Chain A
Amino acid sequence: MDKQSYTCVLVSDFNLQNFAGYAANDPEFPNLKPIAAPLGQPVPTLLDHTAPHWQNAPDVAVIWTQPQSVISAFNALLTYEQVPVREVLQEVDEYCSLLVNMSGRVRYAFVPAWVLPSYRSVFGVLDMKTGIGLTNTLMRMNLRLAENLEKVSNIHVLNTHKWIERAGTNAFNPKLWYLGKIPFGNEIFKAAVQDVKAALRGMLGYARKLIIVDLDDTVWGGIVGDVGWENLVLGGHHHRGEAYVDFQQALKSMKNRGILLAIVSKNEEQAALEAIQHHPEMVLALEDFAGWRINWQDKVQNILEVMTELNLGPQSVVFIDDNPAERARVKESLPEVLVPDWPEDPLFYPATLLSLRCFEMPSLSREDLSRTAMYFSENQRQDLKKTVRSLEEWLRHLAIRVQVEELHPANLQRATQLLNKTNQMNLSTRRMSEAELMAWAEPKHRTLWTLRVSDRFGDAGLTGIVSLEIQDRKAQLVDFILSCRVLGRKIEETMLFTAIHYAHALEVEEVYARYIPTSKNKPCLDFFKSVVPRFQQQGEIFIWNVEHPFPLPEHIELVQ
């Protein structure tokens, strides 16, 4: 993970120094460098785009306010004046428009939802009544805030209530408020920093994508090889059995959200697969797993094999095993794999899984939701490969179709996701928000295409990006990005064809690609060094004379 520091502007009506302290000194990636805007002036700070803290393109902003300080109608409600809810919501709309204007100054903005101290319950059941209850009104305000900001791709509303539940009685301390204008206890700020960082990791492409689980005493109770699948502890009227079912349901929910599941287990494969297929209380089916290694080999070796099969690196993997010795072995051998400490008691398995903060994604695309199905299709492609005699024959049988589209609002979300999480086949490894990418591609001298790839086995989705910047009859290939899911099927060449063909039409003389090395994008360099027909290489720059067309691979059907 990169060592870069991300500047983080803090805008608040209260003292955020403790948040800043935790943000700056928390060892988890990414490093944050907080910049505090003037205390107590959130609205002027949001309005004034020339203020010093907005200069130098800060990466992140956290705008954390108390509802009574930015919504005056709510402040009136606090003293039980009669204020119609619609007036309150109108002010929320106005406040949201300030946030929307601010969003262009940063890459990512976070807005914690509004809360009131939990000790403020003097009117009891009236609290939830429409028009009079403070909590009722505050819930409407937060909903309005979330709905308004949902339209802006780089603003994210954070669930403050979750932090308050976690902090319990330490959530609020009036003493901190009266002494230092700090409305929350430090547990709240710690949780806020963790959530902001987890969200940023997802946005920067570091979300985990694969959960590898053990079987015995992990997804069910008991050793299937010893007791047989009929006698496993799973479901039924048994407290541990119910917990294992809930754990499987939690895994299934992860899979439905686009996270891949795989099995690495020391077992007889046939016995384990029988249990998965025949046990009536199994929530997970074989189709829910993108891959498995069920044998008596070393688990590290098996994990490496699963990663290779699914084209994922260790930084994408979470390994869950009830056996501390296996966990320690994997931790030591594959330090980039996340191996969470796992509770001894299965009753805590579901909660432990659901509290992991490593799967956060800023958005969910169609590709995310059907990822496991895509890996199934991939297995079918690989099976076909074994039956043919050459790469060309395999590619011909696949009947690949590539749909090329320019960047537009409908494909922006997925294109940004791909830009931010692709590491290997990535020429320049730029990381940008949706708004930044759209703004970059807008001028006429720049064009960005997305590529959707499908074949007879299924739709791999939007898996490629190529972009050009033209200046003085020379065009720079700025982005050259391809998901590892479709590498090696001549999609790379199709991307070059697209860019060079376009450049030729505009009478550009030369297209060049400047390779910017990272620790992970050597496959991109290898491709440019070896692609046929050859590019002229000058160090890390690869040049194509546009006088000569770049051929479209024979077996590709191009749709534009």
Chain B
Amino acid sequence: MAETEISRFIEWRRGPAAMNEKITQMLFNVLDELNQLRPREEHLAKEVGTPLAGDFGRLDSAALINLIVLTEEKSAHELGRPILLTDDRTMSQINTVFRTVGSLADHIHLLLNEKRDG
């Protein structure tokens, strides 16, 4: 078995909680990068409940674009699994998917599972 397959197998054995943890940590790294673009008083807290887009969201359209691109880049680099966040399905429910860090993590988890199952 190739090394990546072994690590994916281990990951699968550790279960969804471990994967969620990795995705959340990856998103916190994305927030670190986004915060470099924002004044200190507008920094996004590294918490799953931090609102992103939608009614209570704190990101304007440019920041949302940065979030999408950085998340795709980091997913490929840190999780070793490329994902697509600009597909029609994600875009049509943008305020739901990007409502909070937690909702985005759930969506990424779903995308990764779909890839594995597919």
Listed in ascending order, the chain A residues whose CB lies under 8 Å from chain B are 15, 17-18, 21-22, 24-26, 170, 173, 175-176, 179-180, 182, 186, 190
- Please give, as numbers and ranges, the residues of chain B lying within 8 Å of A190 by CB-CB distance: 36
Bound CA span A25–B36, Å:
7
Does any Cβ of A come within 8 Å of B25's Cβ? Answer: no
- Please give, as numbers and ranges, the residues of chain B lying within 8 Å of A170 by CB-CB distance: 73
Does any Cβ of A come within 8 Å of B69's Cβ? Answer: yes
Task: With CB as the reference atom, state the residue of chain B lying closest to A21.
Answer: B37
Give me the 6 closest cross-chain CB pairs, A-B, nearest first: A21-B37, A180-B65, A179-B65, A17-B62, A175-B69, A176-B69
Query: Is A179 a contact partner of B86 (Cβ separation < 8 A)?
Result: yes
Query: Is B38 a contact partner of A25 (Cβ separation < 8 A)?
Result: yes
Query: Is B33 a contact partner of A186 (Cβ separation < 8 A)?
Result: yes
CB-CB under 8 A for A25 and B69, given A17-B62, A180-B62: no
- From the candidates A15, A21, A24, A175, name the one contacting B72 in the complex (CB within 8 A): A175
Bound CA span A188–B61, Å:
20
CB-CB under 8 A for A182 and B36, given A170-B73, A175-B72, A175-B86: no
- From the candidates B33, B39, B40, B69, name the one contacting A173 in the complex (CB within 8 A): B69
- Please give, as numbers and ranges, the residues of chain A lying within 8 Å of B36 by CB-CB distance: 21-22, 25-26, 190
Q: Which of B40, B62, B73, B86 has the most CB of A within 10 A?
A: B62
Interface residues of B in 46-95 (CB under 8 A from A): 61-62, 65-66, 68-70, 72-73, 86
- Please give, as numbers and ranges, the residues of chain A lying within 8 Å of B65 by CB-CB distance: 176, 179-180, 182
Chain A's interface: helix, strand, loop or mixed, by majority?
helix
Chain B's interface: helix, strand, loop or mixed, by majority?
helix
Query: Is A18 a contact partner of B62 (Cβ separation < 8 A)?
Result: yes
Q: Which of A21, A22, A170 has the most CB of B within 10 A?
A: A21
Interface range on chain B: under 10, 10 to 19, 20 to 34, or 35 or more? 10 to 19
Bound CA span A21–B36, Å:
8
Bound CA span A190–B62, Å:
16
Contact with A along B2-25 (1 / 0, CB 8 A): 000000000000000000000000
Listed in ascending order, the chain B residues whose CB lies under 8 Å from chain A are 33, 36-40, 61-62, 65-66, 68-70, 72-73, 86
Task: With CB as the reference atom, state the residue of chain A lying closest to B60.
Answer: A17
Chain B min CB distance to A18 (Å)? 6
Query: Is B39 a contact partner of A25 (Cβ separation < 8 A)?
Result: yes
Query: Is B62 a contact partner of A15 (Cβ separation < 8 A)?
Result: yes
Query: Is A179 a contact partner of B39 (Cβ separation < 8 A)?
Result: no
Bound CA span A179–B70, Å:
13
Instruction: Kindly list 17 other residue pairs between chains A and B, CB separation below 8 angstroms, not including A21-B38, A186-B37.
Output: A15-B62, A17-B62, A18-B37, A18-B62, A22-B36, A22-B37, A25-B38, A25-B39, A26-B36, A173-B73, A175-B72, A179-B69, A180-B61, A180-B62, A180-B65, A186-B66, A186-B70
- Please give, as numbers and ranges, the residues of chain B lying within 8 Å of A15 by CB-CB distance: 62
Query: Is A25 a contact partner of B37 (Cβ separation < 8 A)?
Result: yes
Bound CA span A17–B39, Å:
14
Chain A min CB distance to B64 (Å)? 9
- Please give, as numbers and ranges, the residues of chain A lying within 8 Å of B61 by CB-CB distance: 180
22 contacts between A and B (CB under 8 A): A15-B62, A17-B62, A18-B62, A18-B66, A22-B37, A24-B39, A25-B38, A25-B39, A25-B40, A170-B73, A175-B69, A175-B86, A176-B65, A179-B65, A179-B68, A179-B86, A180-B65, A186-B33, A186-B37, A186-B66, A186-B70, A190-B36
- Please give, as numbers and ranges, the residues of chain B lying within 8 Å of A26 by CB-CB distance: 36
Task: With CB as the reference atom, state the residue of chain B lying closest to A178.
Answer: B86
Bound CA span A186–B74, Å:
13
Bound CA span A322–B65, Å:
43
Bound CA span A179–B38, Å:
20
Chain A min CB distance to B14 (Å)? 30
- Please give, as numbers and ranges, the residues of chain B lying within 8 Å of A173 by CB-CB distance: 69, 73
Q: Which of A15, A22, A186 has the most CB of B within 10 A?
A: A186
- Please give, as numbers and ranges, the residues of chain A lying within 8 Å of B40 by CB-CB distance: 25
Chain A min CB distance to B41 (Å)? 11
Bound CA span A323–B72, Å:
41
Task: With CB as the reference atom, state the residue of chain B lying closest to A175.
Answer: B69
- Please give, as numbers and ranges, the residues of chain A lying within 8 Å of B66 by CB-CB distance: 18, 186
Bound CA span A17–B62, Å:
8
Task: With CB as the reference atom, state the residue of chain B lying closest to A169.
Answer: B73
Chain A min CB distance to B24 (Å)? 22
Bound CA span A173–B66, Å:
11
Bound CA span A545–B70, Å:
68
Bound CA span A190–B37, Å:
10
Task: With CB as the reference atom, state the residue of chain B lying closest to A189.
Answer: B37
Bound CA span A179–B90, Å:
14
Bound CA span A96–B93, Å:
47
Task: With CB as the reference atom, state the residue of chain A lying closest to B43.
Answer: A25
- Please give, as numbers and ranges, the residues of chain B lying within 8 Å of A24 by CB-CB distance: 39
Bound CA span A18–B60, Å:
12
Bound CA span A170–B72, Å:
12
Bound CA span A169–B40, Å:
29
Bound CA span A175–B70, Å:
11
